[in-house]
Amino acid sequence: MKIQVKDDKRLVRDSGTFAILNTDSGAINTHNLKMNQLAREKTRDDEINKINDDISEIKSMIAQLIKRN
């Protein structure tokens, strides 16, 4: 059963878990879009860091090859 939270029609309390739930679908959609964007940005940042690590490793290998010759 859901119980209306005082002073905010967007919020209800679940009587079983006592959790407060947001019923504003627009706010929920906005939040989900932002979370998806943050996840994509984190993935992109991780990929960029991996590429930077790979470039550093390649530069190190080239420097070793140059020293040998």
Instruction: Look at residue 42 and tell me whether its pLDDT is greater than 90.
Output: yes
Single out the residue of 23, 29, 18, 19 nearest to residue 8, CA to CA. Answer: 23
- What average pLDDT is seen over the chain? 95
Structural domain of residue 49, as residue ranges? Answer: 2-68
Which residues fall within 8 angstroms of residue 33, CB to CB, at 6 or more apart?
A: none
What is the percent of the chain with per-residue pLDDT over 70, rounded to a whole number? 100
Q: Which helix (H) or strand (E) holds 13?
A: strand 11-14
Paired strand residues for 21: 12
Instruction: Look at residue 58 and tell me whether its pLDDT is greater than 90.
Output: yes
- Number of domains within the chain: 1
pLDDT, one tens digit per residue, over 14-36 is 999 999 999 999 999 999 999 99
* Distance between CA atoms of residues 54 and 60, nearest Å: 10
